[in-house]
């Protein structure tokens, strides 16, 4: 298993707008193709105006296949430009879990 940690630095003051738009239009297509997020957070200290989200994959091939399916989804294609308008910078890191940690996914509340 691998975890992808994606950090988006948003335009100042746009965290609430991003989260509202993502919940309304982006969450469902992502869940449909990527499954439940491993975690989804906004920062309150340190670097501000950031969204950090984590996604679990079996391996790099699983990630590539799921992300290709997501980007082929018309509903996702429609929301991406709206989300990108709120983002200044995007980062992605692939994390390999330590052998002694058992991963647990987060739950999304309705």
> Per-residue pLDDT tens for 16-73?
999 999 999 999 999 999 999 999 999 999 999 999 999 999 999 999 999 999 999 9
Beta-carbon contacts of residue 39 (< 8 Å; ≥ 6 apart): 52, 53, 54, 106
- pTM score of the predicted model: 0.86
What DSSP string describes 13-76? T-HHHHHHHIIIIIHHHHHHHH-S-SEEEE-SSSS-SEEEEEEEESSHHHHHHHHHHHHH-HHH
Tens digits of residue pLDDT in 72-98:
999 999 999 999 999 999 999 999 877
Instruction: Please count the structural domains in the chain.
Output: 1
CATH no. for residue 23? 3.30.70.100
Residue 105 counted as domain residue: no
- Residue written as token pair 């193709």: 33
Residue 107 counted as domain residue: no
Nearest-5° angle of CA 20, CA 81, CA 70?
85
């Amino acid at each position: 298993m691998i975890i992808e940690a994606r950090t988006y630095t948003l335009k100042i003051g746009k965290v609430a707008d991003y989260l509202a738009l993502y919940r309304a239009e982006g969450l469902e297509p992502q869940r449909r193709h990527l499954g439940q997020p491993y975690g989804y957070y906004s920062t309150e200290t340190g670097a501000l105006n950031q969204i950090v989200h984590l996604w679990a994959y079996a391996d790099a091939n699983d990630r590539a296949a799921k992300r290709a399916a997501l980007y082929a989804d018309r509903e996702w294609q429609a929301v991406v430009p709206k989300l990108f308008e709120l983002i200044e910078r995007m980062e992605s890191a692939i994390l390999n879990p330590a052998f002694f940690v058992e991963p647990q996914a987060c739950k999304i509340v309705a």
